[in-house]
Structure 1
Amino acid sequence: MKAGQYLSEKKLGLSQIEKPSVKDGEALVKVSFAGICGTDMMIYFGKHPRAKAPLTMGHEFSGVIEEIADGSSFTIGDRVVVEPTISCGQCPACQSGHANVCKTLRLIGIDMDGGFAEYVAVPINRLHKIPDELPASIAAFTEPVAVAVHSVRKSDLLVGENVAILGAGPIGLLIGMVAKLNGANNIFISDISPYRLAKAEELGFISLDARKVNVTEEILSRTNGHGVDVVFEVAGSQITANQMVEIVKTRGQIVVVSVFKQPPTIDFAKMHYNEISLTTTRCYSRDDFSTAISLMAQGKIDVAPIISHELPIEELEQGFSLMGNPDESLKILIKPSM
């Protein structure tokens, strides 16, 4: 079968590899769509600590079951989306119902072969059925929507409160959608990409071009000097680490969603004096994942505006090139099977 693989730093290849055979407890899924994520870019640049070449990346994908053992609630032909997290089930986090922070958490497409291929073998307990009304291309968004759902659920956001999102990539925009659905009032979102800021405006958010305005001054000015109730940090830079403390109100909350590639310096003294709460997030729960499917199927979250490109697997390298330029891309979907 065809598989788009990470071969070495900044090197991808379209390989012919053996179609996977399924073991007990697994299903063979024919991949319909797979999304390129920021984590995939980290792997591509050789910066991910766990991903090892050769690797078929792709942890955001939908497909159709082609092979599965009898006795499951799933059957051949079922349309599914794959929840890519694999936990140990034994550590204290797993035993307390928080498998997303399992001490040995692994992900399909990062620690093992994933969805940038015609077929992938996955554990049956990682499958979710796709409702009939949900197109396969939209279902491929379930993983990032689940991240957004989890991030907002980890916050203390109340109806009518103001929000700032630092970073207008796909996750930032999705967090804005979920926050709006949960009753947020003004939603400020900052970035340096005119393309992504224009998309934020289309979605009804207040966009702030960090190249042209002082984000801190602008948000404080628009909130009568008080700051916002909740800040979602989704950019992972020292600049946004500074801003998140400056723009949150007294006794407000910061939710850190991004993975910082370098440990940032944070003004804990200011946080101390203003009793600011700091919350972190990792992945999502199974309920977050199911909720993401439901929200999209009901049309409450419309991810279609975030899709910038759909490419065949033969153009995977082009997809990664586009992802490297935020002024011309948001979510890029790869279609392994034509």
Structure 2
Amino acid sequence: MKGKMKASVLHALGHFENELVDIPQISEDEVLIKVKYCGICGSDVPRSLITGARKYPLILGHEFSGEIAEVGSRVDEVRKNDRVVVAPLVPCGECEHCRATDYGLCADYNIIGTGSNGAFAEYVKVPKEHVLPIPEQLDFENASGIEPATIGYHGLQKANIQPGETVVVVGCGSIGQLTLQWAHIFGASTVIAVDISDEKLAMAKKLGADITINAKEVDPVERIRDLTGGGAEVVAETAGSTITQEQAILAAKKKGRVVFLGITHSGLELAEKTMDHLMRGEVVVQGSWNSYTSPTQELRGKLL
């Protein structure tokens, strides 16, 4: 497809221009997607306004849904007019992590919308392996949230949640709201949501949180310990704050599992009591990065 399209182009820190640019030309192994909806990721804000982008000019946008407008000559997996979403991280496919199918750990990856042009535009090109068809009953607006939803999935899968366990989600932004829903799907009997915003906590309650805690009003660690008899089996930290990261460790019971999903861009210095609880309680702290996970057969059955 040839011609021009509308796009929001980032030319420098804080400098966007709405422009007419060339429609991307695809290779034989790529597809061209007509964008229907694109979300604004929390990482897009510092990338465009604070820390800067990897390259300029750049079209941002990696959380998107759309319809296939054109396919390359070697594309058989999808067809024109298919409704799709995209896995935006494109790994090298050759390093030790890629060979082990840990694609999110690839050191030489690209992300559509950060290293190459993304979906703040009418059209975007994507490698065929990264296109995922969606069912008719899923509308494009909700489908654009699939990529951020997989962040929570990827993190909680590492926690090995057992039926009947309590899961605490610290931070009720978009990733936190999605993560608390996954917690119930994974088998948690009780999900506790922690934030400092009553509005976000109300949304968490609506989306399935059994208990909400406003950390401005009470000590969340003491409240969680009181509710659970010593701490939760699993704590997922999604706020990306050094304060909440430390609270997450303290809120876990002995031999509990803590998963860090939020990014702080700063170091974490732990108080003596936190280190004591971490060591003496044999608490497991797990990092989680991006969203590349092969679903287990058991969970695949639940989702279907």
**TM-score in terms of structure 1 length:** 0.82
Separation in structure 2 between the aligned mates of residue 295 and residue 184 of structure 1, nearest angstrom: 14
Q: What corresponds to 2:65 in structure 1?
A: 62
Maintained 8 Å contact 2:173/2:200: yes
Q: Residue 219 of structure 1: which of 221, 224, 227 is its match?
A: 224
Separation in structure 2 between the aligned mates of residue 145 and residue 128 of structure 1, nearest angstrom: 15
**What amino acid maps onto 1:23 in structure 2?**
S
Separation in structure 2 between the aligned mates of residue 235 and residue 122 of structure 1, nearest angstrom: 30
Separation in structure 1 between the aligned mates of residue 39 and residue 257 of structure 2, nearest angstrom: 31
Aligned residue runs from structure 1 range 81-100, under 5 A? 81-100=85-104
Maintained 8 Å contact 1:81/1:139: yes
Q: Residue 20 of structure 2: which of 4, 16, 21 is its match?
A: 16
Q: What corresponds to 2:163 in structure 1?
A: 159
Q: Secondary structure at the match of 1:13?
A: strand
> In the TM superposition, what is the alpha-carbon distance from 1:59 to its structure 2 partner?
0.6
Separation in structure 1 between the aligned mates of residue 54 and residue 217 of structure 2, nearest angstrom: 37
**Are positions 1:108 and 2:112 aligned together?**
yes
- Residues 211-232 of structure 1: CA deviation (Å, up to 9, x unaligned): 22211111112122x1100010
> In the TM superposition, what is the alpha-carbon distance from 1:286 to its structure 2 partner?
5.6
**What amino acid maps onto 2:71 in structure 1?**
I
> In the TM superposition, what is the alpha-carbon distance from 1:80 to its structure 2 partner?
1.1
Separation in structure 2 between the aligned mates of residue 112 and residue 173 of structure 1, nearest angstrom: 29
**What amino acid maps onto 1:46 in structure 2?**
I
> In the TM superposition, what is the alpha-carbon distance from 1:8 to its structure 2 partner?
2.8
Separation in structure 2 between the aligned mates of residue 201 and residue 6 of structure 1, nearest angstrom: 37
> In the TM superposition, what is the alpha-carbon distance from 1:295 to its structure 2 partner?
7.6
Unaligned runs of 5+ in 1: 299-338
**Are positions 1:139 and 2:139 aligned together?**
no
Maintained 8 Å contact 2:59/2:119: yes
Q: What corresponds to 2:254 in structure 1?
A: 250
Q: Secondary structure at the match of 2:43?
A: helix
Q: Secondary structure at the match of 1:120?
A: strand
Maintained 8 Å contact 1:231/1:253: yes
Aligned residue runs from structure 1 range 112-191, under 5 A? 112-191=116-195
The 1:189/1:11 distance shift into structure 2, 3 A limit, reads farther
Aligned residue runs from structure 1 range 1-12, under 5 A? 1-12=5-16
Separation in structure 2 between the aligned mates of residue 294 and residue 19 of structure 1, nearest angstrom: 40
**Are positions 1:284 and 2:284 aligned together?**
no
Q: What corresponds to 1:335 in structure 2?
A: none
**What amino acid maps onto 1:188 in structure 2?**
I
**Are positions 1:274 and 2:281 aligned together?**
yes
Greater RCO between the two (CA within 8 Å, min separation 6)? 1
Maintained 8 Å contact 1:31/1:115: yes
Q: Secondary structure at the match of 1:17?
A: strand
185-194 vs 248-257, which moves further: 185-194
Unaligned runs of 5+ in 2: none
Maintained 8 Å contact 1:4/1:56: yes
Q: What corresponds to 1:318 in structure 2?
A: none
What is the identity percentage for the equivalent residue pairs of Structure 1 and Structure 2?
A: 31
Maintained 8 Å contact 2:33/2:123: yes
Separation in structure 1 between the aligned mates of residue 22 and residue 301 of structure 2, nearest angstrom: 35
The 1:286/1:70 distance shift into structure 2, 3 A limit, reads farther
Maintained 8 Å contact 1:256/1:278: yes
Maintained 8 Å contact 2:224/2:231: yes
**Are positions 1:229 and 2:233 aligned together?**
yes
